[in-house]
Each structure stands twice: as structure tokens, then as C-alpha cells.
Amino acid sequence: EAQVTQNPRYLITVTGKKLTVTCSQNMNHEYMSWYRQDPGLGLRQIYYSMNVEVTDKGDVPEGYKVSRKEKRNFPLILESPSPNQTSLYFCASRHQQQQGGEQFFGPGTRLTVL
């Protein structure tokens, strides 16, 4: 089954404790991205990657890091989480060349930073 998986689905942590949210897709998509969803703001892009070893900032990259060492994986790293990073996070992927193509989303990771 074609899918995007994220782990963990739920995470409660404390300020300053480094964490990683994993994302993996099995569709051989070139393009992957991370979004955060906050009430009244919709989804905002954090980082994206157009292919292996190619990453770039989205609209709200502060406090986040990413890496793309393999085509299927795109982890999101919070080196020193803060309470304002409490949010619902989505990973997504699609074929790079399809401007009108569907973007597939993972099930989401709900993060709470105390």
C-alpha cells in the first residue's frame, strides 16, 4: 500500500530535550516536506526536500532541522524544543515533476512541549 508513515504519532516532551520525528514514504517520490498545523493558521511549510541531499527552508523553519540521506526518509529534528513548537506535524511527499500532482500526507504527529 502506498503510504507516508510518521513516528511517533504522539509525543509529550520537555523544553530543551532533543527529539526526532521520523517520516518515510514507499512511493519513490523525489519531493518531501514537513508542515505544521495550528488552529486558525492552516498548514505552514517548515522544510522541504527536492531529492537526496537537497533541502531548503519553508515558511517557518526556525527551531527545526531536517536531513535527506535516503530518498524514502525525511526526519524532522528539534534540537532544543520550546513550548511554541507544540503543534500537529505532517510529513508529505509527491513526484517532483507533477505540478498538479497529488501530495500524499502522513497521519500526523501531535507534539506537546512542556
Partner 1 sequence: GDSVTQMEGPVTLSEEAFLTINCTYTATGYPSLFWYVQYPGEGLQLLLKATKADDKGSNKGFEATYRKETTSFHLEKGSVQVSDSAVYFCALRGRQGAQKLVFGQGTRLTINP
Residues 75, 67 contacting (CB under 8 angstroms): yes
Which of the residues 51 through 110 are near partner 1 (CB under 8 A)?
56, 58-59, 90, 92, 99-100, 102-103, 105-108
Number of residues that bind partner 1 (CB under 8 A): 25
Query: In 3D, which of 69, 70, 78, 1 has the Cα closest to residue 34?
Result: 78
d(CA 107, CA 90): 7
**Residue 64 one-letter amino acid:** Y
Q: Is 13 in the site for partner 1 (CB under 8 A)?
A: no
> What residues make contact with partner 1 under the rule CB under 8 A?
4, 31, 33, 35, 40-45, 48, 50, 56, 58-59, 90, 92, 99-100, 102-103, 105-108
